[in-house]
């Protein structure tokens, strides 16, 4: 029910105008609000003016870290009344109208208040959402809706405009307020994990899987390394969130691997130049003998050997670096089939369209798998091993012998 702010008639939630008096059920700010903006602006301006006057007269030396300076106060003396008038004249943003109506209904009809806060949150710009989240969380808590309240509180800790008061203090003392807010957010999330209201999930590379983290945000079994792709969820969302964390981790890892490949490529350029110059130096030492032996026709014999090495070493030296990092061509590879063998081990068949050669092994869900290539099927890599559970979603990586980076990675569900 929406109560009309003019005649107090109760209207159904779908109405835009009051059924009794016809006034707008989602009004902008009233005259008194608008007048108060002008008053605050003028009062603020006058106070700043007084500070400017005092500062100029007393000539006090202020420490640099404080943000008060005569120039800044002068700016405020002129700026605040203008801002007050501008606020008084502007059209009230829609999200604010919903927020105002929500506040008016907290006692009258809490359900209407929640609906209006939710609408306001959807419409509000990002930096205005923190305050609304906090208000809605308080209301949820009052109504005994613990789960919803926790979700809002959790969202609050990472929202852009959170910890406004503390941010102001941090800025005032010349600190970075974003760093301050991030720290406060992390402390609050840790406290929520410690209280059992929120669960933290992350990928532990030692466990080889997604684990529930302790209040210090570490794997309960391994205090290092730091878990990757950490995510905070409500207790009953844990199941659904595990694959999401795994996906996020795989994505992060892929990005990291691409960065390594790019760095390796960039480093390989000076290296190949270096090798090239060594090759050239070795060659120029060899040329005099060639010239000496071919003394009869020196003009023809000397340029021809120099030209050949010029064109050949270059591609030969540059090419191996990307291939040695990536391994064989696994770009179109995919899992062809998975199945259980009689001895209880899992067989995973990887299809590599461009063919596969060499010695490989795989890591499936943290378990070592041995791989074989059958003569009749040069496009398939048969890998088998034990330790994975039926129905589990696992991460699988294939490695070529002697190369640390996986040649292929994927996630699949064990049959």
Q: How far is the CB of 221 from Zn ion (least distance, A)?
A: 4
User: Least separation, in Å, of the C-beta of 220 and Zn ion?
Assistant: 7
The site for Zn ion, by CB under 5 A, has a size of 13
Q: Would you say 79 or 215 has its CB closer to Zn ion?
A: 215
* CA proximity to 244, closest of 411, 404, 388: 411
How long a stretch of residues is the chain? 415
**φ, ψ of residue 200 in degrees (nearest 5):** -105, 130
x/- binding map, residues 143-182, to Zn ion, per CB under 5 A?
----------------------------------------
The owner of tokens 């006692």 is 107
The per-residue DSSP string of 221-245 comes to S---SPPEEEEEE-GGGHHHHHHHH
- Residue 389: CB partners within 8 Å, gap ≥ 6? 365, 414
How far apart, in whole angstroms, are the C-alpha atoms of residue 59 and residue 57? 6
The H or E element spanning position 132 is helix 129-142
Which residues share a beta bridge with 209?
204
Q: With respect to Zn ion, which residue has the nearer C-beta, 22 or 183?
A: 22
5 lies in the site for Zn ion, by CB under 5 A: no
Q: What share of the chain is helix, strand, coil (3-state, %, to 5)?
A: 50, 15, 30
Q: Which stretch binds Zn ion (CB under 5 A): 217-225, 311-319, 337-345, 402-410?
A: 217-225
Nearer to Zn ion, 25 or 348 (CB): 25
Angle (nearest 5°) at CA 340 between 337 and 344? 155
* Binding flag, residue 4, Zn ion (CB under 5 A): yes
Dihedral, CA of residue 162, residue 168, residue 171 and residue 172, to nearest 10 = -170
Q: Which is nearer to Zn ion, 211 or 326 (CB)?
A: 211
Q: Which of residues 177-206 bind Zn ion (CB under 5 A)?
A: 204, 206
214 binds Zn ion (CB under 5 A): no
**Site string (21-50) toward Zn ion, x via CB under 5 A:** x-----------------------------
For every residue of 242-302, DSSP letters joined together read HHHHHHHHHHHHHHHHHHHHHHHHHHHHHHHHHHHHHHHHHHHHHHHHHHHHTTTSHHHHT
Residue 233 sits in the site that holds Zn ion (CB under 5 A): no
Q: Is 6 in the site for Zn ion (CB under 5 A)?
A: yes
Is it true that the peptide bond before 9 is cis, omega within 30 degrees of 0?
no
1 binds Zn ion, rule: CB under 5 A = no
Secondary structure string (H, E, C) spanning 341-372: CCCCCEEEEEECCCCCCCCEEEEECCEEEEEE
Of residues 151 and 218, the one with the C-beta less far from Zn ion: 218
Q: How far is the CB of 149 from Zn ion (least distance, A)?
A: 31
Q: Which of 134, 222, 226, 228 binds Zn ion (CB under 5 A)?
A: 222
20 or 187: whose CB is closer to Zn ion? 20
Q: How far is the CB of 365 from Zn ion (least distance, A)?
A: 14
Question: For Zn ion, which stretch binds (CB under 5 A), given 2-10, 262-270, 295-303, 366-374?
Answer: 2-10
Q: Among 85, 182, 207, 405, which residue sits at the site for Zn ion (rule: CB under 5 A)?
A: 207
- Residues 20, 147, 186, 401: which binds Zn ion (CB under 5 A)? 20
CA distances from 10 to 114, 239, 320 (A): 17, 44, 78
Which residues are CB-contacts of 257 (< 8 A; sequence separation ≥ 6)? 405, 406
Beta carbon of residue 392, minimum distance to Zn ion (angstroms, whole number): 16
By CB under 5 A, name the one of 111, 160, 221, 368 that touches Zn ion.
Answer: 221
Shortest distance (Å) from residue 25 CB to Zn ion: 8
Rounded least distance, CB 208 to Zn ion, Å:
8
Report the helix count and the strand count for the chain, using DSSP H and E.
13, 12
Collect all residues with Cβ–Cβ distance below 8 Å to 249 and sequence separation of at least 6.
203, 210, 228, 229, 395
When asked if residue 219 is in the footprint of Zn ion (CB under 5 A), the reply is yes
Q: How near is the Cβ of 387 to Zn ion at its closest, in Å?
A: 16
Please report how close the Cβ of residue 94 comes to Zn ion at its closest, in angstroms.
Answer: 20
Minimum CB distance to Zn ion smaller for 223 or for 323: 223
Footprint of Zn ion (CB under 5 A)? 4, 6-7, 9, 18, 20-21, 204, 206-207, 219, 221-222
């Amino acid at each position: 029910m929406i109560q009309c702010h003019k005649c107090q008639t109760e209207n159904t939630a779908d109405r835009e105008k009051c059924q009794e008096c016809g006034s707008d059920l989602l009004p902008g700010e009233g005259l008194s609000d608008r007048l108060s903006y002008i008053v605050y602006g003028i009062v603020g301006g006058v106070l700043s003016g007084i500070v400017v006057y005092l500062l100029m007269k007393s000539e006090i030396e202020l420490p640099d870290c404080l943000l008060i300076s005569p120039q800044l106060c002068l700016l405020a003396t002129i700026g605040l009344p203008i801002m007050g008038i501008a606020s008084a004249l502007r059209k009230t943003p829609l999200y604010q109208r919903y927020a105002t109506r929500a506040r008016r209904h907290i006692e009258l009809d809490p359900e209407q208040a929640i609906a209006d806060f939710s609408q306001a949150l959807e419409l509000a710009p990002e930096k205005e959402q923190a305050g609304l989240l906090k208000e809605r969380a308080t209301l949820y808590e009052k109504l005994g809706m613990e789960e919803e309240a926790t979700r809002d509180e959790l969202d609050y800790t990472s929202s852009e405009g959170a910890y406004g008061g503390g941010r102001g203090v941090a800025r005032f003392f010349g600190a970075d307020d974003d760093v301050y807010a991030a720290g406060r957010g992390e402390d609050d999330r840790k406290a929520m994990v410690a209280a059992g209201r929120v669960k933290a999930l992350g990928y532990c590379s030692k466990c080889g899987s997604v684990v529930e983290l302790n209040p210090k945000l570490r794997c309960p079994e391994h205090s290092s390394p730091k878990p990757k792709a950490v995510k905070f969820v409500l207790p009953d969302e844990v199941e659904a969130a595990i694959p999401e964390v795994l996906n996020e981790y795989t994505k992060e890892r892929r990005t990291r691997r691409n960065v390594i490949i790019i760095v390796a490529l960039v480093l390989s350029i000076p290296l190949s130049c270096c090798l090239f110059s060594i090759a050239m130096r070795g060659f120029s030492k060899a040329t005099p003998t060639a010239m000496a032996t071919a003394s009869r026709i020196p003009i023809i014999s000397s340029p021809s050997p120099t030209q050949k090495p010029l064109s050949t070493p270059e591609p030969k030296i540059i090419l191996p670096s990307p291939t040695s990092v990536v391994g064989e061509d696994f770009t179109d590879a995919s899992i062809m089939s998975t199945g259980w063998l009689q001895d209880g081990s899992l067989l995973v068949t990887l299809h590599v369209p461009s063919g596969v050669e060499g010695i490989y092994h795989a890591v499936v869900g943290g378990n070592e798998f041995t791989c074989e290539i059958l003569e009749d099927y040069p496009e398939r890599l048969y890998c088998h091993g034990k330790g994975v559970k039926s129905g589990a979603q696992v991460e699988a990586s294939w490695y070529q012998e002697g190369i640390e980076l996986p040649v292929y990675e994927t996630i699949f569900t064990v049959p």
